[in-house]
Amino acid sequence: MANHTFEQYGLKPFIYKGIEALRFKEPTPIQRNMIPLILKGESAIGQSQTGTGKTHSYVLPILNRIQTDKKEVQAVITAPTRELATQIYQAFQKVAKESEEEISVRHFVGGTDKKRDAERLKNPPHIMVGTPGRIADLIGDNAISVHKADMLVVDEADLMLDMGFINDVDRIASGMPEQLGMFVFSATIPQKLKPFLKKYMENPEYVHIEPKQASAANIEHLLIPAKSRDKVNVVYDLLKAFNPYLAVIFTNTKQKADEVADKLAEKGLKTGRIHGDLPPRERKKMMKQVHDLEYQYIVATDLAARGIDIEGVSHVINYELPADLDFYIHRAGRTARAGASGICATVYLPADEDAIAKLEKRDITFSNGDIRDGEVVETADRNRRKKREKKEDNLNPKVRAVTSRPQKVKPGYKKKRKMEVAKIEKRQRRIDARNKK
């Protein structure tokens, strides 16, 4: 197997200092494929699941290409959420600070003072990081020019599409040079995204990093039946049994997130919440509290599965399964990062069986459990009856006819029936062998 190192890319010395500070040992597959393309300025689409190191697959080569003597915007990085934009900005800053010559990186997001942003742009940065709406507005107001910036990153492009921001990215790209290197990162490439990609990318390199597994090997996927119990009570009991370092409880809607967070808080758990309806100031405060470990429990919508990176998540709990099962993978991917282990537990109803079966076809192996006396205990496979019936369906029809289960059974029935089946199968094999002669 080839030995991959960051040294093979011939990056500037300060970037190697940054890599050392980040304690990166070797490039990940997405980094191995994207870094050379971005260094050459070739437009590319990188498709990989969350947690694969994609942010640094563009941070490192873009910083390498910045010409510090030119006081103009050279790269624009767009992300669908304020939190993700802030995290990307911080990733740039951690490496850029190692440079002896100043590389100016600034970030611009909605919910902040636009006039103040325009004032800051009187000294143009080398790199602009932010949400598409705010960057597009600043360009539209002539607060900044990007007509010489030949690098554009569209991060989480499919989420950008879902949240209605692709038109803003279009507004940004249309003000950039014709010879533009566009680097698009996405977990999926929906059909609706393709016209936008075609407009700006002529024969882009396409890098698809197939996941070795549907989710990390060190995640335990656990199913907990709700039965006739109130789901919030089941989640509460699970959280008490797990006593997590940090747990994220996923719901499908903002309303349900608020409802679950309120009910858990009523039960005495200090619970944070993250969803798109929180006002900007409150969202910023909540993210700071989460990073400062003020909360052990966070109720969130799928915004936190893709648009926000929360460190130290030991447990993920699905209050409900997502309609788009790709999001199950993204949710589970919030835990077991950087080689750690984690648990992804789903509280399910009979109506969820089809979705669970589809996830099993994606090579996700579930263990079955329940909560007893304040502990999570392993229970029998929920499909054991179906599997037994299927096994019996495969019996020789003559054997099945003789051994079909009676309506009433006596003690020791199972053992006797097993012996009877074995005896009849043996006899039937002898008859079949004789008939072949």
6-208 and 219-382: identical CATH topology: yes
User: Quick one: pLDDT at residue 402?
Assistant: 47
Q: Enumerate the domain spans of the chain.
A: 6-208, 219-382, 386-436
Digits of tens for pLDDT over the chain (437 positions)? 456 899 999 999 999 999 999 999 999 999 999 999 999 999 999 988 766 789 999 999 999 999 999 999 999 999 998 889 999 999 999 999 999 999 999 999 988 889 999 999 999 999 999 999 999 999 999 999 999 999 999 999 988 887 889 999 999 999 999 889 999 998 878 888 889 899 888 889 999 887 655 555 688 999 999 999 999 999 999 999 999 999 999 999 999 999 999 999 999 999 999 887 888 788 888 888 888 889 999 999 887 667 677 878 899 999 999 988 888 888 888 887 666 778 999 999 999 999 999 999 988 999 999 999 999 999 987 766 555 555 555 555 554 544 444 444 455 555 666 666 676 667 777 766 666 55
Q: How far apart are CA 152 and CA 128, in angstroms?
A: 10
Query: Are 319 and 250 contacting, i.e. CB atoms less than 8 angstroms apart?
Result: yes
Question: At 83, which amino acid appears?
Answer: E
Question: How is 66-127 classified by DSSP, letter by letter?
Answer: --TTS-S--EEEE-SSHHHHHHHHHHHHHHHTT-SS---EEEE-TTS-HHHHHHHTTS--SE
Per DSSP, the chain holds a count of helices (H) and strands (E) of 18, 15
CA 325 to chain centre: 11
Domain at 219-382, CATH from 2.60.120.10, 3.40.190.10, 3.40.50.300, 3.30.450.20: 3.40.50.300
Check residue 174 and give its pLDDT: 94
Q: Check residue 310 and give its pLDDT.
A: 80
Find out whether 151 and 78 touch, Cβ atoms under 8 Å: no
Angle among Cα 142, 146, 148 to the nearest 5 degrees reads 135
Please, is 179 exposed, middle or buried when counting C-beta atoms within 10 Å of its C-beta (0-12, 13-18, 19+)?
Answer: exposed
261, 271 in Cβ contact below 8 A? yes
Please give the pLDDT value at position 426. Answer: 72
Instruction: Enter the tokens of residue 177.
Output: 């040079």
**295 and 267 Cβ atoms separated by less than 8 Å:** no
| The CATH fold of domain 6-208 | Rossmann fold (3.40.50)
Dihedral angle of Cα 80, 85, 91, 96, to the nearest 10 degrees? 120
Q: What's the pLDDT score for residue 30? A: 93
Residue 110's CB is within 10 A of a number of other CB atoms, namely 16
